[in-house]
Amino acid sequence: MNWISNYVRPTINSIFKRSDVPDNLWTKCPECGTMLFHRELSENQQVCSNCDHHMNITPRDRFAALFDGGIFTEVKVKDPISDPLQFRDQKKYPDRMRAAQKATGEKEAMLVAEGEIGRTSIVAAAQDFSFMAGSMGMYVGNAFIAGVERAIAKKCPFVMFSAAGGARMQEGILSLMQMPRTTVAIEMLREANLPYVVVLTHPTTGGVTASYAMLGDVQIAEPNALICFAGPRVIEQTIREKLPEGFQRAEYLLDHGMLDRVTDRRKMKDELVTILRMLGGLPPAVAGELPPPAGLDTEFVEEAPVSKTPATAAPKGAVADSQKSAKPVAAAAAKK
């Protein structure tokens, strides 16, 4: 009977044993209900492949998709005083901070980094809504100012990805003070003649909307992002009226002149490269593979294959003809 108890019975039990499947392999789209495989969702930058709904994305994942090769360097941020008001609601403020840090793996609600997009140097900052709703406190204010100062030092544009529930109530008036502080920092950028581009993501509300999130030279938003000071539910309860369909969403703000663009997250990098190079007076970005950087010895660099797309392929001899035609025009201009 030993062979039955030692071999047959364990084999039968293993056949009918329920295997444990990790809970995080699939994500349900909150908009259309489609079950999305985690790897596919990550490759699609947390955008639903069925309905194009934009889910929340961490700053590190956003920067990995934004910067060339996913390479960026974090900008150091000065640490503020921790829990200056010794605030306590249902939990102590330090306990809430530790819980958020453990859940997200981040130090605070904003990450600042520098790198290149399309061979254009930028400094970028992004808020993490999963960290205490991306709320603006003293650290966020310090991070924003550190990013601006780094952009001024490098003489490059500053790009802000906002996502916040407003000012952090646990820091009281000290969190509200970040509104004028960040506004002054933006004025420093303007005095240095450097572009400040804001990308508003879902949701951007409260004191963040009332300060640095709406002061960009160019205002871009992700599709269907909620952008407001007071939310629609609060407004409806105050005025006792039903608000229009899509009120305070990105497309509504675009139609009413509050935004310049509404851009899909997957196309955001190309959009930013085009805008930043235009604002910087640089030539348009090269489509496809970029040429080697200036100063690189190209004698031993293998040439990239020529594009076969008719729209982008120049006719044979077109460059030579254009150079010939340019000479008479230049001569005529010199006579005048």
Other Cβ atoms less than 10 A from the Cβ of 24: the count is 7
32 appears as a binding residue in the annotation: yes
156 appears as a binding residue in the annotation: no
Give me the residue label for tokens 């996502």.
163
CA distances from 218 to 5, 116, 180, 190 (A): 73, 19, 20, 13
Q: What is the rounded distance in angstroms from the CA atom of residue 43 to the CA atom of residue 281? A: 33
> In what order do the strands lie in the sheet containing 261-262?
73-74, 110-117, 120-127, 158-164, 196-204, 218-221, 261-262
Q: What is the rounded distance in angstroms from the CA atom of residue 235 to the CA atom of residue 233? A: 5
Q: What is the rounded distance in angstroms from the CA atom of residue 275 to the CA atom of residue 195? A: 10
Other Cβ atoms less than 10 A from the Cβ of 43: the count is 12
228 appears as a binding residue in the annotation: no
Single-letter residue type at 334: A
29 appears as a binding residue in the annotation: yes
Token pair of 206 as six digits: 């409260």
Residue numbering of the annotated binding site for Zn(2+)? 29, 32, 48, 51
Residue list for the binding site: 29, 32, 48, 51
